[in-house]
Structure 1
Amino acid sequence: MSTETFPDTVASTISPDHFRAVMRHLPTGVAAICAEDPETGGPAGLIVGTFQSLSLDPALVTFSVARTSSSWPKVARARWFSVSLLADGQQPICKALSSKTGDKFQSISWTKSQFGTPHIDGALGWIDCAIREELDGGDHILIVAEVLQMQAAEGEPLVFHGGRLGSFRESAAS
């Protein structure tokens, strides 16, 4: 174990545009974070490309959302949410849930979980979660959530890379 200490702050010279230009080279999966908004009783949701496992024991996941998100407060109010791992071909769902206006769920087929959260039909899997912590992540909020139950299906993932949505293709070198 390292005993090295780090300064409390480090002055970064990285501009947001440069950061975005470099990070767009890293492909990410696409996940729909959905809940039942306790204020309206209807579904609320958003898309994240930062979803990942955090811990096996206890089973924890994490993702980040922009502080400016108008959808995250609706999901956060519910305290319970579901994650639908979007499949290749579900680009329209991604676009609908990324929209800033209108009824995001109007054209989306989904099933209500035992926790009342929307599971997107045709997704590669779903994970029901409870919010454990919201942490400061600069212009984003880092969410840590406990996994309550989960299930997987067969198929290929929807992937975001270089500003585009697409599918995963195995390398010829494999």
Structure 2
Amino acid sequence: MTASEQQLAPEVLRDICGRWATGVAIVTGTDTDGTPLGLAVNSFTSLSLDPPLILFCPAHSSSTWPRIRKTSQFAVNVLSDRQAHLVRAFARSGGDKFAGVEVVPTPDGLPAFAGAAARLVCRVDDIHPGGDHEIVVGRVLRTEQSDAEPLLFHRGMTKALSMVSVSR
């Protein structure tokens, strides 16, 4: 470590990065037996327009992502400001995350959420190491969008865009 590098505690880095507002998405897919699976992610972004690529970063500790990865297909559901309740359910480990959730299957048979702001159906293009996470690059195959406002995540809380002061 050079003199200019600082040893950072994970909680300090989480607090600092939490000051950057992000959208909230749930990656869904199926197990090899067709069981619906999903995990909440806030490390989602576009990567390339040509070819159409996105990326997200699931933790190595995820028990859900390895099961979705086996099928090579997934959907990224960009949550709307009316879907904050889904974050709590899909951020936890274990249990039936889909209990009481309105699911609409994509044409590919992937579970998706009614009322999402947007949806991208993808296949795994590449996976890279990224510390205690994987960097998953997905090739976008199909998209859907609505007029719903996105759900934001900032400083450990979800927020509706309508609650944020925006100057133009």
TM range (shorter): over 0.9
Contiguous gaps of at least 5 residues in structure 2: none
One of 26, 32, 36 as aligned partner of 2:26: 32
In the aligned structure 2, how far is the partner of 1:105 from the partner of 1:61?
Answer: 24
RMSD: 1.5
Shift of residue 172 of structure 1?
5.0
Where does residue 139 of structure 2 map in the other structure? 146
Letter in 1 for 2:107: Q
Instruction: Report the CA distance shift for 1:145/1:166 in structure 2 as closer, same or farther (over 3 A).
Output: same
1:148-170 CA-to-partner distances (Å, cap 9, x unmatched) read 01011011111111111111145
Shift of residue 99 of structure 1?
2.1
Shift of residue 173 of structure 1?
2.9
Counterpart secondary structure, 1:93: helix
Matched, 1:59 2:64: no
Shift of residue 123 of structure 1?
0.3
Where does residue 127 of structure 1 map in the other structure? 120
* % identical aligned pairs: 34
Matched, 1:105 2:105: no
Misfit runs of 4+, over 6 Å: none
Deviates most, 129-138 or 163-172:
163-172
Matched, 1:49 2:12: no
Shift of residue 112 of structure 1?
1.2
Matched, 1:81 2:74: yes
Instruction: Report the CA distance shift for 1:20/1:112 in structure 2 as closer, same or farther (over 3 A).
Output: same
One of 76, 90, 102 as aligned partner of 2:83: 90
Counterpart secondary structure, 2:104: strand
Letter in 2 for 1:124: A
Instruction: Report the CA distance shift for 1:17/1:37 in structure 2 as closer, same or farther (over 3 A).
Output: same
| Number of residue-to-residue matches in the alignment | 164
Shift of residue 115 of structure 1?
1.3
Deviates most, 98-107 or 155-164:
98-107
Letter in 2 for 1:116: G
TM-score, structure 2 normalization: 0.92
In the aligned structure 2, how far is the partner of 1:172 from the partner of 1:150?
Answer: 27
In the aligned structure 2, how far is the partner of 1:131 from the partner of 1:65?
Answer: 13
Where does residue 23 of structure 1 map in the other structure? 17
1:73-105 CA-to-partner distances (Å, cap 9, x unmatched) read 111111111111100021111111112131111
In the aligned structure 1, how far is the partner of 2:142 from the partner of 2:19?
Answer: 32
Larger radius of gyration: 1
Shift of residue 11 of structure 1?
5.8
TM-score, structure 1 normalization: 0.89
In the aligned structure 2, how far is the partner of 1:58 from the partner of 1:172?
Answer: 32
In the aligned structure 1, how far is the partner of 2:98 from the partner of 2:67?
Answer: 14
